[in-house]
Structure 1
Amino acid sequence: MGEPVVETTPIPGLLVVRLDVREDARGWFKENWQREKMLALGLPDFGPVQNNVSFNADRGATRGIHTEPWDKFVSVATGRIFGAWVDLREGATFGTTFHLELDPAVAVFVPRGVGNSYQTLEDGVAYTYLVNDYWRPGTSYPALDLADPTVAIPWPIPLEECEISEKDRHNPALDQVTPMAPKKTLIIGSQGQLGRALQVDYPDADCVDLAELDVTDPAAVAAWPWHDYALVLNAAAYTAVDAAETPEGRRTAWAANAAAPATLARLSDEHGFTLVHYSSEYVFDGTRPEHVEDEPLSPLGVYAQTKAAGDLGVGTATRHYLVRTSWVIGEGNNFVRTMQRLAEQGVSPDVVSDQVGRLTFTNELVRATRHLVDSRAEHGTYHVSNAGPAMSWADIAGTVFELCGRSPDDVRPITTEQYAAGRATAPRPASSTMAMAKIAASGFVARDQLDALRDYLQAGMRP
């Protein structure tokens, strides 16, 4: 088979696909949808779930202009049509039109929110389309008058001579159409350090915490309108590393860190949204000085094991960004805030010196998220932290003391073993340092952790 050719149009996202049709004495054959080839040519991986066929007995049958809330890939099985499309999405291109004649050698990808219509140019036309969502009773969507003078579609056959449904004869004019809003963003775990930072960069997102949406509750998951979202940011996690070793903590950690992400991965494929999930360097045992994305998982304690299980679950989703990070600092209680308070109170703390890594400020993590999503980076796993040489907790504490006007020598370095003496603590990786070559290759430049730390302290502990 020959290769299909993709052409852009004045309507953003509306793509024309020239297909290779092979004919002989018996008839013809074409690859109507070939995912591998189509994706290589730039079509989105829109995940069709239904194939529909509209048969039109007579020349002049005219349907539309309909703006369903899903993507579709349209083509003709037999005959010829005149197709017309109108952008009915919110934004600067609202009202933009495009029209084209389609036969079996031409297909069109129609993005959500673009009005679709056609007129048959022959008898016995079979019009087919793949869609990536299911029709639901009560679903409403914009429609447009076929004869609207504003868009002025040049129908080859005058509309008064055509077969048109009664409903389509009463569709509104363009100035009466309510534009289709884009799908939304959902932030899960919105009240944590990272969740609050994500809200700053995604101010229009729907924000939920456990009280509004418990992803471990099957009934709550089933009732939630997941098809309304294009992007789900899962910042929810059980992060009490030591408490996860207890019977109650163990159950909670497995539900929140393993089962919930796996559920979101399934929902991502079912509803077509992109899932961003945040994980931890704890999925590694810390025996390597620097961790790369494809390093085999080797979790130590219960918390680490649940995060590793969550990574495996998220990895099953077609559209996912698994963002592993370390030593997160944002708004609320955290290590840096504690060290600043101790410095101001004149306390000289004991701080572990044999665990090394890099700080990750929440605004840096949000910036990396924005980069991955907006640049449409390849889906998969990425390591993210602030940049700079690896430091120990004691090194960071000393730097905080110095920035607060205290001597860094007022911080007494101790070993992990000394810190754990007499305490019920979970094992921790000795090295939390993560390689960031992968996200750097996508164009992201991480900010140095010490520059970020200085600004963080000067801003009064704001992320």
Structure 2
Amino acid sequence: MRIENTPVPGLLVVHLDVHGDSRGWFKESWQRERMTAAGLPDFGPVQQNVSYNGLAGTLRGIHAEPWDKFVSVAAGRAFGAWVDLREGDSFGTTFWTVLDTATAVFVPRGVANSYQVLEDGTAYSYLVNDHWSADATYVNVSALDPALGIPWPLPVAEMSDKDRGHPVLAEVRPMAPRRTVVVGAGGQLGRALQRVLPDAEFHDFPEVDLARPETLDSIDWSGVGTVINAAAYTNVDGAETPEGRRLAWAVNVTGVAALARIAIARGLTLVNVSSDYVFDGTAEEHEVDEPVSPLGVYGQTKAATEAVTSVVPRHYLVRTSWVVGEGANFVDTMRRLAREGVSPDVVDDQFGRLTPASVLAEGIVELLRSGAPYGVHHVTGRGPVESWADIARRVFAEEGRDPADVTGVSTEQYLAGRGDRPTAPRPRHSALRLP
């Protein structure tokens, strides 16, 4: 078996092994393990269709469907022609070839396909990765548009009136890419993602609440390609209370498990965000493949969400640390204290890197756009490793205050000042190794 690229991005010609003898022939039209190993996308087919044409010269198309398809010939031969109708630089790119029992083709979503049968009694089978729906949106182009230059080998014997009525390429509105859905639009990361993904679809609490996974059913998942989970329970001290513990597990684990099931069922890419709190902080800088060892409940839920995310075939697990963005955060608190004339005690024995929410959002978008390998990635700010007290002193200096007005204290001293309020153990070292 051999896979051949074409001028149309993602359109692949597959040369199959056909085994024949005096009785006839046999081939594997679809063999997931071998074909994906050879370079075919693991596109997750859910439906098989068969098309039969009795008369040579019959022409079908040209249609661009909102799903991927794998086409192989069961009997006879067909001349196949494809036109890229997706948004982007490749719009209008064409390719054609002859399909027979030894030649199949993988057609990505948005690439229009058309087939003219070359022999009477030609039948071809196609696998698709979404169920057919009468409401599905197609993009079509006229198979006879001279601008396409398709050299149909036979006079047209049969062609439907509907296919004859398709627009010429110059009048076609390109097919938009699959939608990106963001859950947790109102948080620091969600707000940053709104700026870098203006065309995404955003959902927020209480419309979509991961503590109530049934609310995910309010999202129209058809046509979605990627779901980014920017929602999380992040109150690390609150997670140490009975109520907070239940809510942390509900949002960070049970809700993410529901997202994972949707992603698996629909072949989506799932982006989920984890934390430096999955580590115990004994290493000064944490590697991507370091075994997790959380200290508190919040870290335990994040370690669990990493395990849940890992079962999704297409997933990015993005670990980050010390996120600051729009909304209440450490830097804003220090800025306010500086302006109010307060001289605070700030922990000076926890070390990490500050991560602007904008940097985290841009890092997620870059992973998606670059086609980075699925799995765990560290995305944080690239500044120096500092203590919380170091950061506070820097903020004070920016506000015109003496950095010495910030007093460094140990974690134990700081927590002792909280009285009987529940407190979570913190990792001493939170810096994540960056590529």
TM-score, normalised by the number of residues in structure 2? 0.93
The aligned amino acid for 2:43 is: F
Deviations 1:29-51 (A, max 9, x none): 33433444444554333222222
User: Which of 333, 342, 345 is the equivalent residue of 1:347?
Assistant: 342
Could you say which residue in structure 2 is the equivalent of 1:6?
4
Contact 1:4/1:38 (<8 A) preserved: no
Could you say which residue in structure 1 is the equivalent of 2:180?
185
Q: How far apart are residue 76 of structure 1 and its match?
A: 1.1
Paired with 2:433 and 2:49, the residues of 1 have a C-alpha distance of 47
Could you say which residue in structure 2 is the equivalent of 1:263?
258
Could you say which residue in structure 2 is the equivalent of 1:453?
none
Contact 1:359/1:385 (<8 A) preserved: yes
Paired with 1:254 and 1:237, the residues of 2 have a C-alpha distance of 10
**2:239 aligned with 1:244, yes or no?**
yes
**2:95 aligned with 1:94, yes or no?**
no
Q: How far apart are residue 381 of structure 1 and its match?
A: 0.6
Aligned-residue CA RMSD in angstroms? 2.1
Secondary structure in structure 2 of the residue aligned to 1:256: helix
**2:79 aligned with 1:79, yes or no?**
no
The 5 A counterparts of 1:122-271 are 122-159=119-156, 162-271=157-266
User: Which of 408, 412, 426 is the equivalent residue of 1:417?
Assistant: 412
Paired with 1:215 and 1:49, the residues of 2 have a C-alpha distance of 27
**2:27 aligned with 1:61, yes or no?**
no
Q: How far apart are residue 341 of structure 1 and its match?
A: 1.8
Could you say which residue in structure 2 is the equivalent of 1:445?
none
Q: How far apart are residue 167 of structure 1 and its match?
A: 3.5
Paired with 2:166 and 2:39, the residues of 1 have a C-alpha distance of 34
The aligned amino acid for 2:312 is: A
How many residue pairs get matched? 432
The aligned amino acid for 1:334 is: N
Change (3 A) 1:331 1:146: same
Q: How far apart are residue 176 of structure 1 and its match?
A: 4.4
Secondary structure in structure 2 of the residue aligned to 1:82: strand
Q: How far apart are residue 302 of structure 1 and its match?
A: 1.9
Deviations 1:312-359 (A, max 9, x none): 111111111000111001122211111122222221111112211111
Deviations 1:69-116 (A, max 9, x none): 001111212211011112222334433322211112212111111111
The aligned amino acid for 2:113 is: N
Paired with 1:266 and 1:404, the residues of 2 have a C-alpha distance of 48
Paired with 1:226 and 1:214, the residues of 2 have a C-alpha distance of 16
Deviations 1:403-446 (A, max 9, x none): 3333322211111111112132122212212122xxx2xxxxxx
The aligned amino acid for 1:84 is: A
Contact 2:66/2:223 (<8 A) preserved: no
Q: Which is worse superposed, 167-176 or 206-215?
A: 167-176
Secondary structure in structure 2 of the residue aligned to 1:43: coil
Could you say which residue in structure 1 is the equivalent of 2:44?
47
Q: Which is worse superposed, 21-30 or 426-435?
A: 21-30
**2:432 aligned with 1:434, yes or no?**
yes
Paired with 2:126 and 2:38, the residues of 1 have a C-alpha distance of 19
**2:389 aligned with 1:391, yes or no?**
no
**Which structure 2 segments of 5+ residues have no match?**
none
Contact 1:290/1:435 (<8 A) preserved: yes
The aligned amino acid for 1:123 is: D
Secondary structure in structure 2 of the residue aligned to 1:158: coil
Paired with 1:218 and 1:328, the residues of 2 have a C-alpha distance of 26
Deviations 1:162-185 (A, max 9, x none): 233443344344444432211122
Deviations 1:43-64 (A, max 9, x none): 3332222222223333233222
Paired with 1:263 and 1:278, the residues of 2 have a C-alpha distance of 15
Q: Which is worse superposed, 343-352 or 285-294?
A: 285-294
TM-score, normalised by the number of residues in structure 1? 0.87
Paired with 2:33 and 2:257, the residues of 1 have a C-alpha distance of 26
Change (3 A) 1:217 1:228: farther
Could you say which residue in structure 2 is the equivalent of 1:451?
none
Could you say which residue in structure 1 is the equivalent of 2:323?
328
The aligned amino acid for 1:295 is: E
Secondary structure in structure 2 of the residue aligned to 1:167: helix
Paired with 2:309 and 2:287, the residues of 1 have a C-alpha distance of 18
The aligned amino acid for 1:197 is: A
Paired with 1:377 and 1:233, the residues of 2 have a C-alpha distance of 15
Secondary structure in structure 1 of the residue aligned to 2:148: coil
The aligned amino acid for 1:49 is: V
Secondary structure in structure 2 of the residue aligned to 1:372: helix
**Which structure 1 segments of 5+ residues have no match?**
441-463
Q: How far apart are residue 213 of structure 1 and its match?
A: 2.2
The aligned amino acid for 2:121 is: G
Secondary structure in structure 2 of the residue aligned to 1:64: strand
Q: How far apart are residue 231 of structure 1 and its match?
A: 1.9
The aligned amino acid for 1:184 is: R
Contact 2:213/2:258 (<8 A) preserved: no
Q: How far apart are residue 147 of structure 1 and its match?
A: 2.7
Paired with 1:396 and 1:39, the residues of 2 have a C-alpha distance of 48
Q: Which runs of 4+ in 1 moved over 4 A?
A: none
Could you say which residue in structure 1 is the equivalent of 2:21?
24
**2:377 aligned with 1:379, yes or no?**
no
> How much identity, in percent, do the aligned residues show?
59
Contact 1:145/1:174 (<8 A) preserved: yes
Contact 2:241/2:422 (<8 A) preserved: no
Paired with 1:18 and 1:7, the residues of 2 have a C-alpha distance of 11
Contact 1:6/1:41 (<8 A) preserved: no
